Amino acid sequence: MGRVFLALAIWGAIHPMYYFVSWFQSEGWDIMAMVDAWHVNAATSGLVWDLTIAAITLTLWVIVEAFRNKNWLSLIAIPATFCIGVSCGLPLYLYLRGRISYARDPHTVRAL
């Protein structure tokens, strides 16, 4: 699953950025204009709030798990989430978490 999560994180970084960069190129490089576009109607505002709540939830989960498991590298999922999006941050975190959580403990492996 690690490779699947890594592939989804890469896709989640590239695909949305294509649309963001395309929008900025046609509308100008004004972040506040993009924020206004996100709230152009109730449907887009609902999506923004949905993603914001998901991003905050993911951030809290990453912080708690990083301190619990001493997996400090997983903290890079937080800026990925807020600078790119949940579509990158969540699979990136799952990839980084899986590298620790699912690694075999040599003390529990039985010899065949």
- Inter-residue contact 90 to 58 (CB < 8 Å): yes
Using one digit for the tens of pLDDT, what is the confidence trace for 27-60?
999 999 999 999 999 999 999 999 999 999 999 9
Alpha helical stretches, state H, the chain = 2-27, 31-38, 42-69, 77-83, 86-101
Burial class (CB in 10 A: 0-12, 13-18, 19+), 54: middle
pLDDT reported for residue 110: 52
pLDDT reported for residue 101: 53
| Residue of 63, 73, 67, 80 lying closest to 98 (CA atoms) | 73
